[in-house]
């Protein structure tokens, strides 16, 4: 790995939050390196490394760092809650701190490490305006004119949330893929299916725009918790059980906070040959 780095290779980290997995580049002190072609090639789990999203850390003024996000198909993502928590965990450990601020397309956000070891991030206020989600035309966000009566919430990414009797019974590959490109969502959408399993507890499964089925989605958990509260199904603090683990969402006055586990799996170096072929 050292030889590859010295000869022009590109170091990266592999991390995950509740099974939602990421490749992370640290580009502080140098120009950003990610392109759509590189993200798509690297996201291939057979010919690359594989990930749900890629996050690139950049220098920022007024915050510890900035973050940019890509999906595994090479498209850009406006937000990624679990990647934000993973990067925050990495930076806080390096700095010896338990809090950090960073910037994304959503503005300046805050993250903290709780006494129980979980990392929580403020994902900002939910977007509850049809233009901001965005939708193709004006519609009632809590009851979209779509079969199944879903709700729409923006969390930096658009989300279409279905509340169903049993999330386990949903044909996620078929239903999620079809709904991602629904014409009401001009920029496509993440799709969540959730069922109430207890007081302020939901079972959620997700199809992510540009990535497909993932084990967890932080912005999706936030959107689902917001929609559930606005529908009168839960309070403002919600526990969500996803395929990859459990996330906690707390919709406060200063934004939607999302907490969960993080894991730094390994470090690697992309070879100069791989970079030359996919930039």
| Two structure tokens written together for 121 | 């991030």
Q: What is the pLDDT of residue 5?
A: 46
Whether residue 186 is found in the same domain as residue 269: no
Q: What is the pLDDT of residue 8?
A: 81
Whether residue 19 is found in the same domain as residue 113: yes
pLDDT digits (tens, 9 = 90+) for 164-207: 999 999 999 999 999 999 999 999 999 999 999 999 999 999 99
Whether residue 13 is found in the same domain as residue 62: yes
Q: What is the pLDDT of residue 93?
A: 96
45 assigned to some structural domain = yes
DSSP string, the chain: -HHHHHTT-EEEEEEEETTEEEEEEE-TTS-----HHHHHHHH-TTTS---SEEEEEE--SSSSEEEEEEETTS-EES--HHHHHHHHHHHHHHHT-SEEEEEETTEEEEEEE-TTS-EEEE--PPB-STTTTT-SS---TTS-SSTT--EEEESSSEEEEEE-S-GGGS-HHHHHHHHHT-TT-TT--EEEEEEEEETTEEEEEEEETTTEEES--HHHHHHHHHHHHHTTSS-SEEEEEETTEEEEEEEETTEEEEEE--EEEEEEEE-HHHHHHH-
131 assigned to some structural domain = no
141 assigned to some structural domain = no
Q: What is the pLDDT of residue 143?
A: 98
104 assigned to some structural domain = yes
Whether residue 243 is found in the same domain as residue 274: no
Whether residue 161 is found in the same domain as residue 242: yes
Whether residue 165 is found in the same domain as residue 114: no
Q: What is the pLDDT of residue 279?
A: 81
Instruction: Tell me how many domains the chain contains.
Output: 2
Whether residue 110 is found in the same domain as residue 187: no
Q: Is the pTM of this model over 0.85?
A: yes
> Which residues of the chain, if any, have pLDDT below 70?
1-7
Whether residue 11 is found in the same domain as residue 44: yes
Which CATH number belongs to the domain containing residue 112 in this structure? Answer: 3.10.310.10
Whether residue 239 is found in the same domain as residue 268: no
Q: What is the pLDDT of residue 1?
A: 38
Q: What is the pLDDT of residue 24?
A: 98
144 assigned to some structural domain = no
218 assigned to some structural domain = yes
Whether residue 267 is found in the same domain as residue 210: no
137 assigned to some structural domain = no
List, by residue number, the catalytic residues.
80, 217
138 assigned to some structural domain = no
Whether residue 11 is found in the same domain as residue 115: yes
Whether residue 167 is found in the same domain as residue 248: yes
What is the residue range of 211's domain?
151-253
């Amino acid at each position: 790995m050292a030889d590859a780095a010295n000869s022009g290779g590109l170091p990266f980290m592999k991390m995950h939050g509740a099974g939602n997995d990421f490749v992370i580049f640290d580009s502080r002190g140098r120009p950003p390196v990610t392109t759509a072609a590189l993200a798509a090639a690297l996201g291939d789990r057979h010919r690359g490394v594989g990930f749900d999203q890629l996050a690139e850390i950049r220098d920022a003024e007024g915050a510890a760092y900035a973050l940019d996000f890509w999906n595994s198909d090479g498209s850009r993502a406006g937000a990624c809650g679990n990647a934000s928590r993973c990067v925050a965990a990495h930076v806080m450990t390096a700095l010896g701190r338990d809090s950090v601020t960073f910037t994304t397309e959503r503005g300046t956000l805050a993250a903290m490490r709780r006494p129980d070891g979980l990392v929580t991030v403020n994902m900002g206020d939910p977007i509850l305006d049809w233009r901001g989600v965005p939708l193709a035309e004006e519609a009632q966000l809590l009851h979209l004119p779509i079969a199944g009566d879903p709700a729409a919430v923006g969390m930096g990414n658009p989300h279409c949330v279905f509340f169903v009797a049993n999330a386990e019974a949903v044909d996620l590959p078929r239903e999620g893929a079809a709904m991602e490109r629904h014409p009401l969502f001009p920029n496509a959408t993440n799709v969540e299916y959730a069922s109430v399993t207890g007081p302020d507890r939901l079972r959620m499964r997700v199809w992510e725009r540009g990535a497909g089925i993932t084990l967890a989605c932080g912005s999706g958990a936030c959107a689902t918790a917001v929609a559930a509260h606005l529908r009168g199904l839960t309070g403002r603090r919600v526990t969500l059980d996803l395929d990859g683990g459990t996330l906690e969402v707390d919709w406060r006055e200063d934004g939607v906070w999302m907490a969960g586990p993080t894991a730094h799996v390994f470090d690697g170096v992309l070879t100069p040959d791989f970079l030359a072929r996919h930039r």
